[in-house]
Amino acid sequence: MSYRRVVITGLGCISPLGNDIQSTWEAVLAGESGVGLITHFDTTDFRTRIAAEVKGFDPVQSIGKRLARRTDRFTQFALEAAAQAIHDSELSIDDGNRDRIGVIIGSGIGGVSTLINESWKYLDRGPKWVSPHMIPMMLPDSAPGYIAIAHGLRGPNMTIVTACASSANAIGEATEMIRRGAADAILAGGAEAAIVPVALAGFNSMNAISTRNDAPTEACRPFDLERDGFIMGEGAACLVLESYEIAHARGAKILAEVIGYGATSDAFHMTAPAENGIGAGICMQNTLANAGLAPEQIDYINAHGTSTKLNDVGETQAIKATFGEHAYHLAVSSTKSMTGHLLGAAGALESIFCIQALQHNVIPPTINHHTPDPECDLDYVPNDARQQELTYVMTNSFGFGGHNACLIFGKV
CA dihedral for 161, 163, 167, 171, sign (positive or negative): negative
Mean pLDDT in residue range 108-136: 96
149, amino acid identity: I
pLDDT at residue 3 is higher than 70: yes
Same-domain status, 281 and 196? no
Q: Is residue 366 part of a domain?
A: yes
pLDDT the model gives residue 275:
86
Mean pLDDT in residue range 354-373: 98
Same-domain status, 214 and 307? no
Same-domain status, 43 and 113? yes
Indicate the helix (H) or strand (E) that contains 160.
strand 157-160
Per residue in 283-327, pLDDT (tens digit) is 999 999 999 999 999 999 999 999 999 999 999 999 999 999 999
Cα distance between residue 102 and residue 199, in whole Å: 31
Q: Are 24 and 17 in contact (CB under 8 A)?
A: yes
Q: Are 267 and 86 in contact (CB under 8 A)?
A: no
Q: How many domains, in total, are found in the chain?
A: 2
Q: Is residue 91 part of a domain?
A: yes
pLDDT at residue 1 is higher than 70: no
Q: What is the pTM of this model?
A: 0.98
pLDDT the model gives residue 119:
96
Helices (H), 238-375: 244-249, 278-291, 309-323, 336-339, 346-360
Mean pLDDT in residue range 228-242: 98
Catalytic residue among 13, 164, 238, 406: 164
Q: Are 196 and 112 in contact (CB under 8 A)?
A: yes
pLDDT at residue 230 is higher than 70: yes
Q: Is residue 2 part of a domain?
A: no
Band (121; pLDDT cuts 50, 70, 90)? very high
Same-domain status, 219 and 360? no
Q: Is residue 108 part of a domain?
A: yes
Same-domain status, 165 and 210? yes
Catalytic residue among 238, 283, 304, 369: 304
Same-domain status, 239 and 276? no
Instruction: Compute the residue count for the chain.
Output: 412
Active site residue 304: yes
Mean pLDDT in residue range 210-215: 98
Q: Are 305 and 315 in contact (CB under 8 A)?
A: yes
DSSP state of 232: B
Same-domain status, 58 and 134? yes
Same-domain status, 108 and 166? yes
Total Cβ atoms within 10 A of residue 394: 28
Mean pLDDT in residue range 163-190: 98
Same-domain status, 221 and 302? no
Q: Is residue 254 part of a domain?
A: no
Q: Is residue 286 part of a domain?
A: yes
pLDDT at residue 17 is higher than 80: yes
pLDDT the model gives residue 92:
97
Band (125; pLDDT cuts 50, 70, 90)? very high
What's the CATH code of the domain at 83? Answer: 3.40.47.10
* pLDDT mean across residues, the chain: 97
Per residue in 35-65, pLDDT (tens digit) is 999 999 999 999 999 999 999 999 999 999 9
Cα distance between residue 116 and residue 297, in whole Å: 47
Mean pLDDT in residue range 373-401: 98
pLDDT the model gives residue 193:
98
Catalytic residue among 13, 238, 283, 341: 341
Question: Which residues constitute the domain of residue 40?
Answer: 8-249
pLDDT at residue 2 is higher than 90: no
